[in-house]
């Protein structure tokens, strides 16, 4: 999913995206022994593909409509409000259900069945 960044919190190195539980699901993986929740991984969206998973940040929490990306300072500084960021969700059924179609990297539209 391509999600716009709608706010930045410099005190906590957090990016707020328009993309929440209704877009991704509340499913998560525990990322470490401390119980850190991972709702999705970050990728860059390129004209013909997405990048490998970015280190330095992850989708850490979700409300109904918004998500919080926790990131290191370097990654935080790469993005501005209004930028799109790619999210690979942990669970994609709700994401697929919300999208009436998909846009491929070749600019083809594939409709949902």
pLDDT of residue 61: 94
Rounded CA-CA distance 15/82 in Å is 11
Q: Is 34 left (phi over 0), alpha (psi -120 to 50) or beta?
A: alpha
The pLDDT value given to residue 94:
65
- Answer yes or no: is pLDDT of 23 > 70: yes
More confident residue, 6 or 33: 6
Q: What is the pLDDT of residues 79-88, one digit of tens each?
A: 999 999 999 9
Distances (CA, A) of 67 to 2, 45, 108: 12, 18, 28
Task: Kindly report the average pLDDT of the chain as a whole number.
Answer: 88
Taking the model in full, what pTM does it have?
0.81
Check pLDDT > 80 for residue 112: no
Q: Which domains does the chain have, with CATH numbers?
A: 2-111 (2.40.37.20)
């Amino acid at each position: 999913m391509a999600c716009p960044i709608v706010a930045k919190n410099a005190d906590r190195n957090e990016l707020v995206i328009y993309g929440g539980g209704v877009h991704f699901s509340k499913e998560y993986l525990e990322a470490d022994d401390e119980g850190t929740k991972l709702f999705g991984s970050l990728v860059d969206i390129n004209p013909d593909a997405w990048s490998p998973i970015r280190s330095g940040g992850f989708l850490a929490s979700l409300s109904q409509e918004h998500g919080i990306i926790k990131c290191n300072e370097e990654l935080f500084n790469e993005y501005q409000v209004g930028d799109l960021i790619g999210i690979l969700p942990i669970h994609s059924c709700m994401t697929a259900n919300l999208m009436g179609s998909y846009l491929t990297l070749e600019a083809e539209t594939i409709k949902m069945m």
